């Protein structure tokens, strides 16, 4: 991790530590919202201070009454230009909240709007990119850094060293491990018009981003992210032999929900695709925090699935019909 990132993180973490915090808000849109939501899950499990995640415009218009000087608002936009997220950051800052942004673009409108600014690196397919410099790594460094500062703990130290020393290798090894599966997915599912995704707990955000960004946005394939626990209370009735589902099974606490959903789904759909964190190579991630890292690995694995689907459909992941092409 370079010095610039270390200094930015340290400044943000110290600012949080010096404030009497009554709540955390994670605010972003689309894929960036999916990216920040796992941090809310981690805080929910680890501390008693409440936290919530909102889509940026919902946050502004809902205007939660608890937003104020004792709030920490963490926002994220890759381009740094997402108008709703820039506005949400300015809105939170006006209310006196401590604002921290994550973005790929230094000096962007988001960068200017937030009091504390965290830059992350990015390469579209991650080839030349160090895993510990991506948005998720910076976010996790922030969250576990805050936890470690407020409640020093071996587990949090382990999480931080896992990001620093383990994450990059884990990404590379699991991409290699799942390359054949990704190619088979592309070949076998290239004619599908609809693919559901399913997960729970910290992995739900991956099901959501795969549904809305990779399938709907980048492949024009219909989708919906179904929560593994909600599946049995409505959605499971559309399960049939020819309806495709991608089921992500996590590790640890919410895995029983995913097991149950998968067991039912695979019985009635011949097109059930399993992404199972138990098959991931997580060497380098400390065992006591592995359940918090499965979503990062599932995200990288599924990105490779989408890449090979795209090669088979002939529809490049970069093609859009509306986004960036018009006013909306």
Report the nearest approach of a second copy to the CB of residue 28 (Å).
9
Task: Rank residues 116 and 196 by Cβ distance to a second copy and give the closer one.
Answer: 196
Report the nearest approach of a second copy to the CB of residue 242 (Å).
12
Report the nearest approach of a second copy to the CB of residue 156 (Å).
14
Applying CB under 8 A, the residues found at the interface with a second copy are 23, 29-33, 41, 44-50, 52, 55-58, 61-66, 68, 82, 84, 194, 200-201, 211-213, 216-218, 220-225, 227, 229-230, 232-239, 253-254, 256-257, 260, 264, 268, 320-323, 328
Report the nearest approach of a second copy to the CB of residue 1 (Å).
29
What does each C-alpha distance from 34 to 11, 17, 212 come to in angstroms? Answer: 25, 25, 10
Pairwise CA distance, residues 295 & 250, whole Å: 8
> 38's torsion region: left (phi>0), alpha (psi -120 to 50) or beta?
alpha
Task: Rank residues 133 and 258 by Cβ distance to a second copy and give the closer one.
Answer: 258
Report the nearest approach of a second copy to the CB of residue 284 (Å).
26
Report the nearest approach of a second copy to the CB of residue 52 (Å).
7
Which residue from 328, 296, 324 is spatially nearest to 57, judged by alpha carbons? 328
Report the nearest approach of a second copy to the CB of residue 112 (Å).
21
Cβ(297)–Cβ(170) below 8 Å: yes
Task: Rank residues 122 and 220 by Cβ distance to a second copy and give the closer one.
Answer: 220
Task: Rank residues 125 and 220 by Cβ distance to a second copy and give the closer one.
Answer: 220
> Apex CA 39: angle with CA 260 and CA 110, to 5°?
135
> Apex CA 235: angle with CA 232 and CA 237, to 5°?
85
Which residue from 184, 189, 164 is spatially nearest to 284, judged by alpha carbons? 164
Strands (E), 56-201: 71-77, 98-103, 116-119, 196-199
Question: To which residue do tokens 């931080």 refer?
Answer: 160
Report the nearest approach of a second copy to the CB of residue 191 (Å).
15
Q: What are phi and psi of 265, to 5 degrees?
A: -60, -45
> CA 89, 94, 99, 104: dihedral to nearest 10 degrees?
30
Q: By CB neighbour count within 10 A (0-12 exposed, 13-18 middle, 19+ buried), where does 169 fall?
A: middle
Cβ(235)–Cβ(209) below 8 Å: no
Report the nearest approach of a second copy to the CB of residue 229 (Å).
4
Q: By CB neighbour count within 10 A (0-12 exposed, 13-18 middle, 19+ buried), where does 276 fall?
A: middle
């Amino acid at each position: 991790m370079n010095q610039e990132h270390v200094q930015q993180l340290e400044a943000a973490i110290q600012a949080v530590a010096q404030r009497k915090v009554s709540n955390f808000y994670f605010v972003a849109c689309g894929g960036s919202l999916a990216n920040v939501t796992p941090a809310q899950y981690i805080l929910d499990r680890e501390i008693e201070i409440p936290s919530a995640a909102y889509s940026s415009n919902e946050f502004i218009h809902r205007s939660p009454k608890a937003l104020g000087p004792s709030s920490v608002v963490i926002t994220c936009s890759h381009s740094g230009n997402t108008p709703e997220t820039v506005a949400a950051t300015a809105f939170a800052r006006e209310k006196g909240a401590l604002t921290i942004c994550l973005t790929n673009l230094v000096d962007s409108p988001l960068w200017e709007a937030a009091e504390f600014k965290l830059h992350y690196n990015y390469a579209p397919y991650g080839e030349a990119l160090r895993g510990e410099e991506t948005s998720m790594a910076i976010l996790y460094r922030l969250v576990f850094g805050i936890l470690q500062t407020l409640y020093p703990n071996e587990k949090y130290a382990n999480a931080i060293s896992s990001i620093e020393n383990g994450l990059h290798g884990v990404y590379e090894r699991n991409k290699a491990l799942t390359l054949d599966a990704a190619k088979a997915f592309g070949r076998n599912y290239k004619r599908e018009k609809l693919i559901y995704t399913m997960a729970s707990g910290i992995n739900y955000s991956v099901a959501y981003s795969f549904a809305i960004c990779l399938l709907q946005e980048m492949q024009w394939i219909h989708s919906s992210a179904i929560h593994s626990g909600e599946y049995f209370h409505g959605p499971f009735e559309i399960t049939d032999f020819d309806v495709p589902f991608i089921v992500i099974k996590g590790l640890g606490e919410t895995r029983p929900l995913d097991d149950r959903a998968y067991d039912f789904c695979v019985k009635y759909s011949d097109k059930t695709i399993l992404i199972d964190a138990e098959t991931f190579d997580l060497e380098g991630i400390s065992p006591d925090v592995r359940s918090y890292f499965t979503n990062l690995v599932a995200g990288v694995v599924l990105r490779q699935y989408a890449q090979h689907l795209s090669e088979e459909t002939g529809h490049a992941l970069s093609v859009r019909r509306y986004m960036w092409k018009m006013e909306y």
